Chain A
Amino acid sequence: MSKLDVTDIQGVAVRGYNFPFARFLFLKFSDKQKGRECIGQLVKHVTTAERWDQGKPKTTVNVAFTYPGLVALGLPEPSLLSFPVEFVQGMKARGAILSDTGKNSPHHWDPVWHGEVHAWLGVFAQLQPDLDRRCLELLTLLQESGAAAMTGSQDAAALQIDGKITTKEHFGYTDGFGNPEFLGLEKDAQPGQGKLAADGKWMPLATGELLLEYADEAGELPVAPLPHLLANNGTFMVYRKLHQNVATFRKYLKEKGELYPGGVEKLASKFIGRWRDGTPVELSPDKPNPTIVQDKDRNVNFTFGNDLDGARCPVGAHVRRTNPRDAFGFNGKLINRRRISRRGMPYGPYTPEDQPGRDDEEHGIIFMALNASLFRQFEFVQQQWIEYGNDARQGNDKDMLIGNHGGCGKVMIQGTADHDNPPFLCGALPNFVELRGGDYFFMPSITALRMIAANSVDPR
């Protein structure tokens, strides 16, 4: 295939910026014409996927729209009607499929999600003052346009521990390993990303698993809006604010860890499939190994084919459920159309490990994922691999970490006859994570943004 036009693709669609500070602004348009003019101004700020050979910028800006947002901007009806149905419905309406029920149901969500959200403006920065300055600049632009109001915003930031910026999340795990690689996107190829080839090597996934109007892993084109230019180089984004019950997690881990012969840290590693420093348990089942964590050729480079019983990495461990690699056989082919690109970022202050922490404090993770088909990729992973266990032969068991357990979940940690690696059952699972809002967004290309701005989207 030909090289992708990186000047036309929004940067965050194809790579995580790894900036420590971010703010997500939620907008509501009040006027079609002014809204489109405002997009015309905004597009000049949007960060593309061009390489940063001259060094990283201080800040980045990206934009994406909900379906009501595209309606509010006056896209022609034939275009609106051509969007995939799950995007049109929005995340709230998909709650039954996603198990966003009980404590995760919309009436527990943040106030901003109780009204209509039309657009997401994502601003990332290397320094806090730069973030504030850039956001002020964007808000001034919005205000002057008279087109949109900011109905809410969400700050996110890498956790700082002892004054140092880290890649930890609130439960103490090192996060941010691994994202799929795609054909045509220049990246430092890392073995373990992408898909498994017949010879055991790793290859990039088809571009159409991420970007619209390119062939996907089945050689098909995912459902995309009309016309071609509106969809081309665009993608769909999931935004979910996941509150973390730090106290509940620490208490549960301590209680069970005291019963588990391998100890607290080993149990923590079995939950996720990585030791808290990031070492994959599949590669180092007995102890963390910082050498592996730092080695790009090894830290995402593993398979489960020789551990089908889950003796090293439990079958229900979070990283194995959400990316089963070759665990379902067929050399991993069954999962190649279920991959998502994650852009997660914590929010809220870090609670030192020696403290019990609190559930009601404002802290968690902003989970963002990009994929060409929300239905086939994100929704499938959420419904089948997180909230259900049949594919992993775990019956009705849910993902230990983010499943909506409602206090009565269980997860089996497989083991061996070794004294410190016995099988262990964790029952009465509470919800460690609770959904606090989110939606589905369409992230258009630069060309499409300019077409929207010029009111020249022509589906005929």
Chain B
Amino acid sequence: MSNQSGNIYGLTILSPIKDDPHGEISHSLAIRMYLQTLPVDGKGPFGKVSSTHMARLVVLDDVVYFGMPSCEEHLKSKYLIFESNFDGELEPYLKQLAAEAGDEVHNIWQHCIGYPGVQNVDAFVAYMKRCQVETTFYFADVNDKTVQQTLKALQTQSAVASFIENNQGKPPDQLQAAFVEFLRRLSIAPRPKPGSTKGKELADELL
């Protein structure tokens, strides 16, 4: 199953974008304009769906023609590409997306052909699955660890570096005592929030 790599699911969705020759602006431009208004830090829609490692939304107009000797080809419609690498199974993820980021999902997918809305969650899930194509490549930095494991690992890495810096060269008994205390603090330290860039500060605080 190439859509799954260990615990990680690689989702690729191609939703055809509506074509309305009488619209004030094209549906593809409407999506682009809306996407530009979304926050880029942890406050964006995927920050709310905390199992997301990486997500990307792209408006694909057509195949770009590079001139001879390549041959000229065209798509049947414009497409919205949605890629996401997340923890766990597909259906719960899509349901969470509809529940946690329903407004954003609606504002984006309302410009796509066949989109049934998010009110009827089963219809939304069925629609998204109809648009799904097989994922063959994952985001390069995604491994087999969950978002939560990754955040904890980054916090631990940063904390261990600070611990070493503050304690290297100490006599064994002092070093051991410091390490026991360090482990205790680390085990109760609050986990960094998804999208957080504060891992270093959190790690420093607990020391």
| Chain A residues engaging chain B, CB cutoff 8 angstroms | 259, 261, 395, 410, 412, 424-428
B130-168 to A contact mask, C-beta < 8 Å, 1/0: 000000000000000000000000000100011011001
- B169 close to A (CB within 8 Å): yes
Closest to B163 in A: A425
B158 to nearest A CB, angstroms?
A: 9
Q: How far is the CA of A424 from the CA of B165 in the complex (A)?
A: 8
Further contacts, 14 of them, CB under 8 A, given A410-B165, A424-B168, A427-B162: A259-B168, A259-B169, A261-B169, A395-B157, A410-B161, A412-B161, A425-B161, A425-B164, A425-B165, A425-B168, A426-B165, A427-B161, A427-B165, A428-B165
CA distance A396 to B166 in the complex (A): 20
Residues of B within 8 Å of A427, CB to CB, are 161-162, 165
- Return B175 CB to nearest CB of chain A, in Å: 13
Query: B residues within 8 A CB of A261?
Result: 169
CA distance A425 to B169 in the complex (A): 11
Taken residue by residue from 167 to 179, chain B's Cβ proximity to chain A (1 for < 8 Å, 0 otherwise) reads as 0110000000000
**Chain B residues closer than 8 Å to A424, beta-carbon distance:** 168
- Specify which chain A residues have a CB less than 8 angstroms from the CB of B168 in the assembled complex: 259, 424-425
> CA–CA, A288 to B171, complex, Å?
30
Which A residue sits closest to B165, measured CB to CB? A427
Q: Which residues of A contact B162 (CB under 8 A)?
A: 427
Q: Chain B, interface size: which category?
A: under 10
Across-interface contacts of B164 in A (CB, < 8 A): 425
B165 CB contacts on chain A under 8 angstroms: 410, 425-428
With both beta carbons as reference points, the residue of chain A lying nearest to B160 in the complex is identified as A425
- The chain B residue with its CB closest to the CB of A396 is B200
Within B53-78, which residues are at the interface with A (CB < 8 Å)? none
Q: For B157, what are the chain A residues with a Cβ–Cβ distance below 8 Å?
A: 395
Q: B87: shortest Cβ distance to chain A, in Å?
A: 23
Cα–Cα, bound, A177→B165 (Å): 32
Shortest beta-carbon distance from A328 to chain B in Å:
15
Residues in B with CB closer than 8 Å to A259 are: 168-169
* Closest Cβ–Cβ distance, residue B83 to chain A (whole Å): 22
How far apart are B179's CB and chain A's nearest CB, in angstroms? Answer: 15
Q: A284 to B168, alpha carbons, bound, how many Å? A: 25
Min CB distance B187 to A, Å, is 22
Distance in angstroms from A55 CB to nearest chain B CB is 55
Q: How far is the CA of A259 from the CA of B168 in the complex (A)?
A: 8
A424 to B162: give the CA distance in the assembly, Å. 12
Instruction: Tell me the complex Cα distance, A425–B164, Å.
Output: 7
> Across the interface, which residues of B come within 8 angstroms of A428, CB to CB?
165
Q: How many Å from the CB of A198 to the closest CB on chain B?
A: 27
The smallest beta-carbon distance between A395 and chain B, in angstroms, is 8
Query: In the docked arrangement, what's the CA distance between A428 and B162, Å?
Result: 10
Distance (Å) between the CB of B18 and the closest chain A CB? 38
Contacts of B169 in A (CB 8 A): 259, 261
A61 to chain B, nearest CB (A): 46
How far does the alpha carbon of A213 sit from the alpha carbon of B162 in the complex, in Å? 50
- Identity of the chain A residue whose Cβ is nearest the Cβ of B154 in the assembled complex: A395
Instruction: State how many angstroms separate the Cβ of B169 from the closest Cβ of chain A.
Output: 5
Distance (Å) between the CB of B150 and the closest chain A CB?
13
Q: How far is the CB of B78 from chain A (nearest CB, A)?
A: 31
Closest residue of chain B to A428 (Cβ to Cβ) is B165
Chain A residues, CB < 8 A from B161:
410, 412, 425, 427
Cα–Cα, bound, A81→B115 (Å):
48
Specify the chain B residue showing the minimal Cβ separation from A260. B169
Residue numbers in B under 8 Å from A425 (CB-CB): 161, 164-165, 168
Alpha-carbon gap, A427 to B207, bound state (A) = 15
Query: Can you name the residue of chain B whose Cβ is closest to the Cβ of A427?
Result: B165
Query: How close is A349's CB to chain B, nearest CB, in angstroms?
Result: 34
In the complex, chain B residues whose CB is within 8 Å of the CB of A426 = 165
CB distance from B174 to the nearest CB of A (A): 14
Q: How far is the CA of A428 from the CA of B157 in the complex (A)?
A: 16
| Alpha-carbon gap, A292 to B165, bound state (A) | 34
Closest 8 CB pairs of A and B: A427-B165, A425-B164, A259-B169, A425-B165, A410-B161, A425-B168, A425-B161, A424-B168
Question: Quick one: closest A residue to B169, CB to CB?
Answer: A259
Which one of A259, A412, A426, A427 has the greatest number of beta carbons of chain B within 10 Å? A427
Which residues on B sit within 8 Å (CB–CB) of A410? Answer: 161, 165
Q: Shortest distance in angstroms between B183's beta carbon and chain A's nearest beta carbon?
A: 18
The 11 listed contacts between A and B (C-beta, < 8 Å) are A259-B168, A261-B169, A395-B157, A410-B161, A410-B165, A412-B161, A424-B168, A425-B164, A425-B168, A426-B165, A427-B161
